[in-house]
Structure 1
Amino acid sequence: MRRYNSLGDLPLGGPRRVVAIGTFDGVHIGHQAVIGRAIELAAERGLGSMALTFEPQPIAVLRPELRPAVLTHIGFKTQLIERLGVDELLVVPFTRAFSRIRAERFAEMLVAPPVGADAVVVGENFRFGHQGSGTVEMLAQFGRSRALVVESPRMVTSPDDKPVSSTRIRRLVATGQVAAVIPLLGRMHSVEGVVVPGDGRGRTIGLPTANLEIPADSALPSRGVYAGRAVLAGGRSAAAVNIGVAPTFTASDIRSTLRLEAFLLDHDGSDIYGQTMRIDFIERLRDEKRFASADELMAQVRQDIDRTRELAARPPGDPTA
């Protein structure tokens, strides 16, 4: 897959394409259906396929106070989209100036060089142009006048007949329901960051942990203990993950930010400081709590580790495994 980081990066005079358009935060199964249909349509028409997305999310620019947590930052989003088999990815920088483009002008941009769309595929609730004035119906009407095929697959729903959306997934993650989002994402929810030094307390009790520094806008599960997998450049390991403030060792449960600490069950002890690590969340195990002693904490942690090993040994059935 070839990635372009702006419209200006696209070569002029390129081939016609079938373009899937969306923010695609999470690249959940609904997004996969939109991109997958674009790939199918491109094959039917003998053309290449492209996913067009925006960075950052439009709402983060238009209404910063309502900026949602990010399910997939652009690096991981790129990997997930590439795995779907699309030929190209166009990442359009979303700015206030871009937001003021009229809907009609945006539609013209799609059919004109350098995008050169022969067909577009969008979600049912797709809006575009200044103040979101453009609708799927408007785009379809424009398409009929410009020989542009416009398709909008029906919204994907979960078995309980609820629409699959990034907003719904964020809410589940925020309340720690990480197992519930696996069928909606088609994989485990993940966060990624850099391994940084911690206070070293885990090492003193025989449980050295990797402290992960993640982007502040990441969709972090709620405070608690989770079974997961840690993914590093050199491999992966089952991981018992604590998100919280380590109340057993602190005088107060109040801190400005939560910490993410992962005990890697099968790590060989090598230095991983400064490395990028991804945590894939399998299941929430329990609340974080204050224990009366370090020994009581250790007894519980051993149970957490046993349960993590059991869960991590199951076939995950997702592309991040």
Structure 2
Amino acid sequence: MSDIRLPFTHAEDLDRFPQHLKGGVVAIGNFDGVHRGHRVVLQNAIDIAHAADAPVYAMTFEPHPRTVFNPDKPVFRLTPQPARAEVLEAFGLDGVLVLPFSREFAGLEAADFVRKILIDSLAIQHAVTGHDFHFGRGRAGTPDFLKASGSEHGFGVTIVAAEVDEGREVISSSRIREALAEGDISLANGLLGYRWFVEAEVRHGEKRGRVLGYPTANLRLADECTLRHGIYAVRVLVDGKPVDGVASYGRRPTFDNGAPLLEVFLFDFSGDLYGKQLRVSFVSYLRPEEKFTSLDALIAQMDRDSAEARAALAAMQPLSPLDLALGSVPL
């Protein structure tokens, strides 16, 4: 490979899989959140690829398999497809292959997954997965099956053990979802190793914030988002530049108790945000959402929230090199 790094590749079609990634090292998994445990798998793949002077990319699946098999209860995605690609690129991969997941795909025999995808389409030289990754009909593609397939077909296989946190608990996407649902931003961010973020387009709202002296950018999050309703200190990327702020996520009980909405007030900022795509990184949870008996009481609390958010943001330190690379913490 050349020392010049090619642009990050986002592939979705096996028939058009880019030639420059063929013969590479692939990390396989859902990688929702690209958390610290996932990144041990990814780092193994990167190290193997660099030693072999080969490209390295992630293979993942959309939609989430659990959503396919239980569509009435879609999974709250920590990193929807675009955000996941951003984190993978920031971590240093050369690309991501997103395969469409369906019941038909799940019914593919494990041996066919290996032969048709890993060998015929991708010509991999090495596969890296977590210890709990299974594939193929009836989940017959176990880690042992993949290792045996590698020996048979001439590609390497590395199986990575579960990663635990400082309390010796396994790091998982489920734990992070639970932490966000409880408003435990510190735990969620600690398990991720970077500030959890959402991305959405600024929409027109009721413009009540202007009357209160707190004009907000309104963003609609996914229906399955289970983030705890409440007030948060946030850092927002606006046109690639970080801006501090305070945000409310919830139903606005003082006003309409409507559909959940993320309302972000940016400190020391002026400009038109309508139609812009913002990245909102969550730094700390301040308090639950509540109903106020008067606008004056609400404004007084918003003043206190802003002061608390400024203090939290002023003390913010990078959680990892990836946190810096994602831009929520200025260099």
Which TM-score band applies after superposition, normalised by the shorter structure? over 0.9
1:249 aligned partner: 255
Q: SS of 2:202's equivalent?
A: strand
1:285 aligned partner: 286
Q: SS of 1:247's equivalent?
A: coil
2:48 aligned partner: 41
Q: SS of 2:78's equivalent?
A: coil
Identity of aligned residues (%): 33
Contact preservation (8 Å) 1:18, 1:119: yes
Say if 1:248 and 1:67 are closer, same or farther in 2 by CA, change over 3 A.
closer
Q: Which of residues 6, 12, 17 is equivalent to 1:10?
A: 17
2:267 counterpart of 1:265: yes
Letter of the aligned partner of 1:272 in structure 2?
Answer: L
In 2, Cα distance between equivalents of 1:12 and 1:186: 33
1:166 aligned partner: 173
In 2, Cα distance between equivalents of 1:73 and 1:143: 31
Moved more, 153-162 or 138-147: 138-147
Contact preservation (8 Å) 1:18, 1:120: yes
Letter of the aligned partner of 2:236 in structure 1?
Answer: A
Letter of the aligned partner of 1:262 in structure 2?
Answer: V
**Mapping of residues 24-63 of structure 1, within 5 Å:** 24-63=31-70
Contact preservation (8 Å) 2:33, 2:173: yes
Say if 1:110 and 1:38 are closer, same or farther in 2 by CA, change over 3 A.
farther
Q: Shift in Å at residue 152 of structure 1? A: 1.2
Offset from partner CA, 1:27-82 (integer Å, 9 cap, x none)? 11111111111010111223221211111112222221342101111111111101
Say if 1:288 and 1:139 are closer, same or farther in 2 by CA, change over 3 A.
same
Q: SS of 2:210's equivalent?
A: helix
Letter of the aligned partner of 1:265 in structure 2?
Answer: F
Letter of the aligned partner of 1:240 in structure 2?
Answer: V
Q: Which of residues 76, 82, 94 is equivalent to 2:89?
A: 82
Q: Which of residues 217, 223, 226 is equivalent to 2:229?
A: 223
Using the size of structure 2 for normalisation, the TM-score is 0.90
**Mapping of residues 88-237 of structure 1, within 5 Å:** 88-217=95-224, 219-233=225-239, 235-237=241-243
1:313 aligned partner: 314
Offset from partner CA, 1:266-309 (integer Å, 9 cap, x none)? 212x1111111121111110111122221111111111101111
Using the size of structure 1 for normalisation, the TM-score is 0.93
Count of paired positions: 315
Say if 1:44 and 1:212 are closer, same or farther in 2 by CA, change over 3 A.
same
Q: Shift in Å at residue 8 of structure 1? A: 1.4
Q: Which runs of 5+ in 2 are unaligned?
A: 1-7
1:239 aligned partner: 245
In 1, Cα distance between equivalents of 2:314 and 2:116: 49
In 1, Cα distance between equivalents of 2:184 and 2:244: 19
Say if 1:234 and 1:36 are closer, same or farther in 2 by CA, change over 3 A.
closer
Letter of the aligned partner of 2:262 in structure 1?
Answer: L
Moved more, 3-12 or 205-214: 3-12
In 2, Cα distance between equivalents of 1:220 and 1:314: 27
In 2, Cα distance between equivalents of 1:278 and 1:241: 13
Q: Shift in Å at residue 11 of structure 1? A: 4.5
In 2, Cα distance between equivalents of 1:242 and 1:206: 15
In 2, Cα distance between equivalents of 1:31 and 1:308: 30
